[in-house]
Structure 1
């Protein structure tokens, strides 16, 4: 899944900076529902990543049963943290 596609689907724009702050909670709620229903691991991971970037992701032990997926999520968390300004 492309991040722009997820943004378009849940927020109506491929540009996160253009998301209406009022629409953000509703989009996040829809993503959480879809995350819980999604069975494809790649799509679940993409949804979790966007939720993480929006500070709305479920905890790793709740989100991923597979230890390899939890480790991949930790790697994403580390990459995002290292890319963020101090």
Structure 2
């Protein structure tokens, strides 16, 4: 999945700066529903990863029945935390 396409699909814009709080909430809700319905591992991971960024991702045990997918998600979480620590304050 292309991030720009995914963002436009759920939020109706390619610019995060132009999102209203209502559009943001609606887009997140649509993504959560699609995550719950999807059976494609790659699509589920992409949706979960985008939901993780604003803190809207469901728990790993709910999102990923496969332990390898849960470990991949934990790795992403660790990488994001490490990258956040590297940002200048």
Task: Assess same fold via TM > 0.5.
Answer: yes
Q: How many residues align?
A: 86
Q: Which runs of 5+ in 2 are unaligned?
A: none
Partner of 1:18: 18
Q: CA RMSD for the aligned pairs?
A: 1.2
Q: How far apart in 1 are the matches of 2:78 and 2:18?
A: 26
Partner of 1:48: 48
Deviation at 1:6, TM superposition (A): 1.0
Alignment of 1:62-77 (within 5 A): 62-77=62-77
Q: How far apart in 2 are the matches of 1:4 and 1:51?
A: 14
Computing the radius of gyration from Cα coordinates, the structure with the larger value is 2
> Which digits, 9 at most, give the CA deviation of each residue in 1:30-75, with x for residues without a partner?
0011001111100000000000011100000111010100000001
Q: Which runs of 5+ in 1 are unaligned?
A: none
Partner of 1:9: 9
